[in-house]
């Protein structure tokens, strides 16, 4: 029986995707629920799994091509016997058995050693490994049966824990190789070496379009302030161990900033509003978008009803969303429905910047690096841990007085964290 592989429903307002990678070739065996093809939308990357076991009979849409929801991607022959990885490795073993028929034991040894020399990786993880020249043996797999997941590869890349796969094989190269390497710098570089043309991913195109639309549509203006982080740092230092012991999560800055923003949004509802045609929609719920940088681009997963969450629940929720973003496991629902966004350029060392709105939201708060600076305190100069804050807002909805007041309220709450606990 032939089973069609079609583009699934991708989510609200998402009508098309790009075929990122086929994990199987025509004729390959497929197991039910195994990923067959990866699709890139303008928000997330998702895998299409096999609905039946069998053999991949046909690939209709090639990698890099755009498809609409419901489009036919390929066909699967259910129950059909396909090519597997085991037969592919059999030929190298057979000559060894012929050359040494009296010693069958050594011939059986290489297959047993092969898995240990190269840890098994899921298709999406293997793609990242190949693209970045990583050594899978240096990556610890956390998936089922120790398989390497996409998240394992991304974590290894962030920690610098992976070594280039080519490094161990370089000494084994033939003698002419070093000569060609040494000769390369002496001649002029080719045009191919000077430039590299790479097709934009759908996510990158989406980011570019949304940011440009925000500039073209909203009347964006940014107001700045600075906050003394001393009280918050002292509070965290005093309670971080007890907080971690009780809740199983670290007490970070994001829970304080989230709670401070919610307090400001409740007082100044225009900052939590949006424009819909000729109407203003004031939202009495607080879904906080938390910008997260990933190897494929910036995404903004949403922490829903954050006003109803405790500090620990906020920290856990943000941690889970961040991990899903880095692992490429965010769903469409994780990215929809935000009413206000917080972005932290400080993690990259930014001292000050002007964030761009995330439409249709009317406000975005930019956090930055904590920098010790000399400040005048009660007529004396003190060295204080200071952070610049930036609020970019849609001036069509929010007046300057409302924007400045909101940022002052955030500043007051952060400089006196007890206000958040007392709802002041």
Which residues form the catalytic set? Answer: 395, 399
Please give the structure tokens belonging to residue 289: 């978008």
**b vs e for 261-294, b when ≥16 Cβ sit within 10 Å of the residue's Cβ?**
bbbbbeebebbbbbbeeeeeeeeeebbbbbbbbb
What is the C-alpha separation between 5 and 26, in angstroms, rounded?
13
Q: How far apart, in Å, are the Cα atoms of 386 and each of 352, 374, 410?
A: 12, 9, 14
Q: What angle do CA 37, 40, 42 make, to 5 degrees?
A: 160
| Count of beta carbons in the 10 Å neighbourhood of residue 55 | 19
How many angstroms separate the CA atoms of 365 and 23, rounded? Answer: 40
Distance between start and end Cα atoms, the chain: 66
The backbone region for 81, taken as left when phi is positive above 0, alpha when psi lies in -120 to 50, beta otherwise, is beta
Q: Of 266, 254, 220, 255, which Cα lies nearest the Cα of 405?
A: 266
């Amino acid at each position: 029986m032939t089973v069609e592989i079609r583009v699934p429903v991708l989510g609200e307002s998402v009508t098309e995707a790009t075929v990122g990678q086929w994990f199987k070739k025509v004729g390959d065996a497929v197991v039910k629920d195994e990923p067959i093809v990866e699709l890139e939308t303008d928000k997330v990357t998702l895998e299409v799994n096999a609905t039946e076991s069998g053999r991949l009979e046909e690939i209709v849409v090639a990698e890099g091509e755009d498809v609409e929801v419901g489009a036919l991607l390929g066909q699967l022959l259910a129950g059909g016997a396909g090519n597997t990885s085991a037969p592919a490795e059999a030929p190298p073993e057979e000559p060894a058995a012929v050359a040494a028929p009296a010693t069958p034991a050594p011939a059986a040894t290489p297959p047993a050693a092969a898995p240990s020399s190269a840890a098994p990786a899921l298709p999406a993880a293997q793609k990242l490994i190949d693209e970045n020249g990583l050594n899978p043996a240096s990556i610890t797999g956390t998936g089922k049966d120790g398989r390497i997941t996409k998240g394992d590869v991304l974590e290894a890349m962030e920690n610098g824990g992976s070594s280039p796969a080519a490094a161990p094989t370089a000494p084994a190269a033939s003698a002419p190789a070093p000569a060609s390497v040494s000769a390369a710098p002496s001649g002029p570089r080719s045009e191919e070496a000077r430039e590299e043309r790479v097709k934009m991913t759908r996510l990158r195109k989406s980011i570019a379009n949304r940011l440009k639309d925000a500039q073209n549509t909203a009347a964006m203006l940014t107001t700045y302030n600075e906050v003394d982080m001393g009280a918050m740092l002292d509070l965290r230092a005093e309670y971080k161990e007890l907080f971690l012991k009780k809740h199983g999560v670290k007490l970070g800055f994001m829970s304080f900033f989230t709670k401070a923003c919610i307090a400001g949004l409740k007082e100044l509802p225009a900052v939590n509003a949006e424009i819909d045609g000729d109407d203003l929609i004031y939202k009495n719920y607080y879904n906080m978008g938390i910008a997260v940088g990933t190897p494929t681009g910036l995404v903004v997963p949403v922490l829903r009803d954050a006003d109803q969450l405790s500090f620990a629940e906020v920290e856990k929720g943000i941690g889970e969303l961040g991990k899903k973003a880095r692992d490429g496991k965010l769903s469409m629902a994780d990215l929809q429905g935000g009413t206000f966004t917080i972005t932290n350029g400080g993690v990259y060392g930014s001292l000050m910047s002007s964030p761009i709105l995330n439409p249709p939201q009317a406000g975005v708060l930019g956090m930055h690096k904590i920098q010790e600076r000399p400040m005048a305190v009660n007529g004396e100069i003190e060295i204080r841990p200071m952070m610049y804050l930036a609020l970019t807002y849609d001036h069509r909805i929010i007046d300057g007085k409302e924007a400045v007041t909101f940022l002052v309220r955030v500043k007051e709450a952060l400089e006196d964290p007890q206000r958040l606990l007392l709802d002041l």
